[in-house]
Structure formats: C-alpha cells, structure tokens
Amino acid sequence: MIDVEIEDDAWLDALPQAAALARAAAEAALAAAGRLPSRPVDFGLVTVLLTDDEAVAELNADYRRKAGPTNVLSFPAAQNPEGFLGDLALAQGVCAREAADQGKRLDHHLQHLVAHGVLHLVGYDHMSEDEAVEMEALERRLLAGLGVPDPYAADQGDHG
C-alpha cells in the first residue's frame, strides 16, 4: 500500500489528482522492481509526503546536511518485519519550477520523481555510470507504462 500525504495545498491547486498520480507511480516502481506484496497489506509500504520547499529544505538540512530544498528526498527504512520500505518527500515549488524550466508537464515530473525515489528505497542508485544506466532504463520502462515520456530524452531535460 502507498500512503500519500498532501501537506501543501499548492500540490492540489496545480494537480487535483496529485495523490492518485503519486500512488500510481510508486506502485509502478515497486512492480518494476519486483517488490509488490503478493497480498494486500494493512500498512503503507511507502509513504509519500507532498509538501512545500521549506519543509524539504529542513529535512535536507537535518538529514543530508545540505542547505535548501531539493525535488525529492528518499528515506529508506531499516529492514522490518512489516515490510515498510521508507518515506519520500517532494517539494512542490522545486518540482513545479523544474517542470516549467525543463518544458515538462508537472504531472509527468511528479510521477518520475516518485518512481525515482521509490527505486532508491528498494536499493537502486546512480552513483556509478553502470548504476545510472540500469536505474534510468528501469525508470523509462515503468514511466512508459504510465504514459509518461522519457524524462531523460534530450527534449525532456533532466530530473535535477
């Protein structure tokens, strides 16, 4: 199950369907990574927080020792018997500005960033070239299944 919490109404003003879009992207990422549970569960495997730049800046400072907001933060959970994978936090202002700057639709950018964050929760990374190639290929496939254009295509910019 994917829990989506909308803390900043700007998400709903820009995307009334933000929760459904985030949930669909998270589920697609879990499915692509082979991590969907075989039966429904009563708890959230992932919690997605759609919040503002200030809240993400505070999280970024507290947990990463970096100043300012970023588009998405992933907080993997320690292994646990409940199967909880972790939390994501997305900054509305950063995401909206990036989408506009990169000529992307905000709904597509949101789904890309949620999928990207969930893949981090299940162990994917992009620190090396090989890891980046693998992760980006998986993102492209799962986003295509959601009807989202390739976020890494030359005319689509980068996720930041």
Supply the CATH number for residue 109's domain.
3.40.390.30
pLDDT band at 44, cuts 50/70/90?
low
Cβ–Cβ < 8 Å for 36, 48: no
Buried residues in 43-73 as b, exposed as e (16+ CB within 10 A): ebbbbbbbbbbebbbebbeeeeeeeebbbbb
pLDDT of residue 1: 86
CA–CA separation, 78 and 106 (whole Å): 31
Q: Does the pLDDT value for residue 3 go beyond 50?
A: yes
120 located within any domain? yes
Q: Does the pLDDT value for residue 40 go beyond 50?
A: no
7 located within any domain? yes
Q: Does the pLDDT value for residue 110 go beyond 80?
A: yes
Bigger pLDDT: 91 vs 153: 91
64 located within any domain? yes
| Count of the separate structural domains present in the chain | 1
Residue 28: half-sphere exposure toward Cβ, Cα within 13 Å: 23
Bigger pLDDT: 122 vs 58: 58
Domain that holds residue 131: 2-147
Q: Does the pLDDT value for residue 41 go beyond 80?
A: no
CA–CA separation, 110 and 79 (whole Å): 27
* Section 81-110 average pLDDT: 96
159 located within any domain? no
Which pair of structure tokens corresponds to residue 124?
């994917």
Beta bridge partners of 58: none
Cβ–Cβ < 8 Å for 80, 120: no
34 located within any domain? yes
Which pair of structure tokens corresponds to residue 72?
């998405």
pLDDT band at 128, cuts 50/70/90?
very high
Q: What residue has token string 């909206």?
A: 96
Position 114, amino acid: V
156 located within any domain? no
Specify the pTM: 0.91
